Every structure is written in structure tokens, then in C-alpha cells.
Amino acid sequence: MDRHFSCIACGKCCAGWLPLSINDALENANLFPLFLLWTPVRQGAKSFDLTAKIGFTLKLKNRKLAAVRLTPMSYIPPQINCPALSEDNLCSIHERKPLRCSTMPFSASRDENDQIDLLIPRPGWECDISDNAPLVYKDKKISNPDGFLSERKQLLTDSEILKPFAQLMLDSKPALKMELEKMAVRPHGGNVVVGFLPLIHRLANVDINQFAASQLAVLENLIGITKENPECADAHKNYVQAAGELRAII
């Protein structure tokens, strides 16, 4: 089926978790609360092969495999707008917005022939999907795949850093491995969120003190915003823990 799509810049999709490349994360350490998301995908799922390629595979106790993707992200609860969204609902960093935002509504972490449901706006989104909007997807092919291909290339480049880092984390943190194994066999899957700091220690040319100071300011702001909201309790807890880890190194 063909799909038409045009963004009218309503800003409604600019809320909640935002996956980031490593570069986008580092460049926006003064804006986004940076965390790492581990996402297991069961064998047989549509995105298993691609996830195994940009992530890694994990042997499960039932002798099956899970593909696991490790994603840097701006960890914002769905009730809260992206910190880069301005009051007029426009992106304040439009000229240098993250690759993930440039590729929207497509996703390079899915196969090109598996994009069609991403072109159906979620409730409340004001995207133009009428026949007047440009034809963006035809015969399971993206009409202009430049952004999609750039994001895919970046995912593969980042995986060269993230794969060995993930292995190191799993070898040193049996509790994390057990949590992933648990998520991988749950009928509806799940994610594990951990702090970003361990990855920083593995990246070259990063001023750790500057990173920590930037992130601490971001987290302290979000701790204030989320503290009275029970729907943001998980995020609040993670912000408090990450802020404590950052204070310890400043």
C-alpha cells in the first residue's frame, strides 16, 4: 500500500524517549538526560536479524537466542516534552537536530520493507497523510531514503563501539544479564534502562568533568519537574540515581 506523509511541525511527537546516535548524545549533553536502553528481541520477531546486526545476540536458558540492541537515548517520560521543543512547538535545534528526528517518521532500526505502520500518526498527532501530502512510501520502498540510509550507517558505525561495551557490561554485571534474559522471554518484551556514565569512560576525547557538569544540570532540572508526578516515578528514580553517580565524579 502507498503512503503519503507530511510534517506540519505541530510538535506533538516531540515527547518521551528519543533514541540518539553517540554523537547526537554527546553534542546535546547540556540538553537531554542521557541513558542507555537495552532492548531484547525474541527469535522469530520481524526485526531479529537487523537487531542482531546492529546489536548482539544473547543465549537464553531455553536454548533460544535473543537479539539485543543497546541504544543511547534522551530518557524523558512520555508525559514530558523534549527539552529542545520551544514554546511555539518548533524544534529549537532544528538545524542540528538528532538523526532520529531527521529520519522521522521512518526508522533505520527496522527493515525498509517494515515501515508502513510508522506512517500512521498516533492519536493527537497532526501529520498530513492525505493524498495532497507527498508520496513517501510505495511498494515497501522509501521514496527518498537519504535520511534513512544515513541513520542506518550511523547505527552500524556506533555498533562498533556499543557491541564490545555491551559485552563488557554483561561480563561484569550478572544482574543486568539476568534482567535482559527475563525481559527476552516475557510475552510483551520490555527494556532495561541504565545510566550513561559507564559508556563515557569508553569514549575517546570526551571531557568527563564537562560532561558530568552538563548532565547534572539537566538531571537536576528534571528531578524537580518529575518529583510530584507519580506517572514519572520510574524516570524520577533513575534521574536521582544518575545524578548521584555524576556528583561523585565532579
**Where along the sequence are the contacts to ligand SF4 (CB under 6 A)?**
7-14, 18, 82, 84-85, 91, 93, 97-98, 101, 104, 121, 125-127
15 or 206, CB closer to ligand SF4?
15
CB 99, min distance to ligand SF4, A: 10
CB 14, min distance to ligand SF4, A: 3
Instruction: Please give the backbone phi and psi of residue 66, each rounded to the nearest 5 degrees, phi first.
Output: -120, 140
CB 115, min distance to ligand SF4, A: 14
121 or 190, CB closer to ligand SF4?
121
127 or 235, CB closer to ligand SF4?
127
Cell numbers describing residue 196: 550513561
88 or 139, CB closer to ligand SF4?
88
CB 123, min distance to ligand SF4, A: 11
Give the three-class secondary structure for 77: coil
- Return the closest-CA partner of residue 168 out of 193, 130, 141, 199: 199
Q: Find all residues with CB under 8 Å of 175, minimum gap 6, and list them.
A: none
- Return the closest-CA partner of residue 125 out of 19, 20, 18, 7: 7
Instruction: Please give the backbone phi and psi of residue 64, each rounded to the nearest 5 degrees, phi first.
Output: -90, 175
51 or 74, CB closer to ligand SF4?
74
Cα–Cα distance measured from residue 128 to residue 6, given in angstroms and rounded to the nearest whole number: 5
CB 28, min distance to ligand SF4, A: 8
Cα–Cα distance measured from residue 158 to residue 18, given in angstroms and rounded to the nearest whole number: 16
- Counting Cβ atoms within 10 Å, is residue 245 exposed (0-12), middle (13-18) or buried (19+)? middle
Give the three-class secondary structure for 49: helix
91 or 217, CB closer to ligand SF4?
91
CB 101, min distance to ligand SF4, A: 3
